[in-house]
Amino acid sequence: MNGALSFHDLTVGYGGEPVLHHVTFALEPGEIVALLGANGAGKTTLLRTLAGFVRPRSGTIRLDGDDLARLSPEDRARRGIAQVPEGRSVVAELTVDENLRLGSLWRHRGRARDVAVAEVYELFEPLARRRASDGHQLSGGERQMLALGRALVSRPRVLTLDEPSLGLAPLVVAQLMATLRDAAARDGMTVLLAEQNITSALSIAGRGVVLDLGRVVADAAASALADDTALRHAYLGF
Ligand code: ATP
C-alpha cells in the first residue's frame, strides 16, 4: 500500500505573519479527508505547500515516510501527487480529448495513454459524449469534471482538490463527489479535499480536518464533525 501522507508541525507564511501554524495531521493510504474552514483559513496554502509551490518555514511533509522538503514541484508530481486547483483550469482552445491527453503526457505513452483516457471516459459519461467539444463550450460542471479527469489520467497516489464544488449546481456537485469517491476507491488513491461546501465534502470523506486562522481546531470522523453543533457554529458557519 502507498499514498500515506503526513503533515508535521508545519508553519507557513508569505513574508509577514505565518498563515499556517504548527499544522499536524495525517492521511492513511486510500483515505479521503475533507479539509474544512472559512475563507482565508489556509486551505489553499496547505495544498500549495504540499505541491511544492510554497516553502514551509518549519515542519515536514512526508509521503510514504519520505520527507518532501528537497523535492521540486515536478519531482512531487512524479512521486504521484496531483492537484486540481481552484478555478477549473482547462485549456479552452483544446478539445476534451486533447485536454485529457495533456494530463497523461509525461506518465503514459501510446496505448497506455489511450487506456488512461478511456478510463476517465468510463468514470465521466458526460465527458465521453463531449470528447470532441472545445473546453470553452463546456458547462461549469463539465469543466470541473475535465479538470478532475485530467488529474486522474496520471493515476496519482495522492490527489488534492481545491473547492471543486464552487459555483456548481447541487446535483452536479453530487455527481462530481460520487465520481471522485469511485475513482479513489478504484485506484486506492489518497484524497485531500479542500471545501467550503462542508455537507458535500463530508458526504464522501471518512474524516475532516478543520482549520481556523491557520490552526487545526478539529480532526475527527466525518460523522462526528457533522454532529458537533458547537464546532459547526464556531468554525464552519452552519
Ligand atoms: P480561500 O477559500 O479564500 O482560498 P483558504 O482557506 O484557502 O481560503 P488561503 O488562500 O490559504 O486560505 O489564505 C490564507 C491566508 O494567506 C489569507 O490571509 C490570505 O490573504 C493569505 N495569502 C494567501 N496567498 C497569499 C500570497 N500569495 N501572498 C500573501 N498572502 C497570501
The total number of structural domains in the chain stands at 2
9 and 123 share one domain: no
44, 194 in Cβ contact below 8 A? yes
Q: Rounding to the nearest 10 degrees, give the CA dihedral for residues 77, 116, 124, 44.
A: 0
With H, G, I as helix, E, B as strand and everything else as coil, classify residue 75. Answer: helix
Joined together, the cell numbers standing for residue 55 give 516553502
Å from CA of 50 to ligand 1 middle: 15
61 and 168 share one domain: yes
Q: Is 85 a pocket residue for ligand 1 (Cβ < 6 Å)?
A: no
67 and 173 share one domain: yes
147 and 169 share one domain: no
* Dihedral sign computed on CA atoms, order 160, 163, 167, 170: positive
Residue 69 located in a structural domain? yes
Average pLDDT over residues 130-134: 94
Å from CA of 110 to ligand 1 middle: 40
Dump pLDDT digits (tens) for 143-202.
Answer: 999 999 999 988 899 999 999 998 888 988 998 899 999 989 988 999 999 998 888 999
Å from CA of 215 to ligand 1 middle: 13
Å from CA of 177 to ligand 1 middle: 24
205 and 144 share one domain: no
211 and 101 share one domain: no
pTM value is 0.93
Dump pLDDT digits (tens) for 3-41.
Answer: 899 999 999 999 999 999 999 999 999 999 999 998 899
170 and 234 share one domain: yes
Residue 85 located in a structural domain? no
Dump pLDDT digits (tens) for 73-88.
Answer: 999 999 999 999 988 7
Joined together, the cell numbers standing for residue 14 give 508569505
Per 3-state DSSP, the chain is made up of helix, strand and coil in percentages (nearest 5) of 40, 25, 35
Q: Is 40 a pocket residue for ligand 1 (Cβ < 6 Å)?
A: yes
Residue 107: pLDDT band with limits 50, 70, 90: low
Q: Is 43 a pocket residue for ligand 1 (Cβ < 6 Å)?
A: yes
Task: Give the domain-ending residue among 108, 132, 155.
Answer: 155
143, 135 in Cβ contact below 8 A? yes
ipTM exceeding 0.90, yes/no: yes
Q: Is 165 a pocket residue for ligand 1 (Cβ < 6 Å)?
A: no
Residue 223 located in a structural domain? yes
Task: Give the domain-ending residue among 119, 139, 155.
Answer: 155
Q: Which domain holds residue 110?
A: 90-155
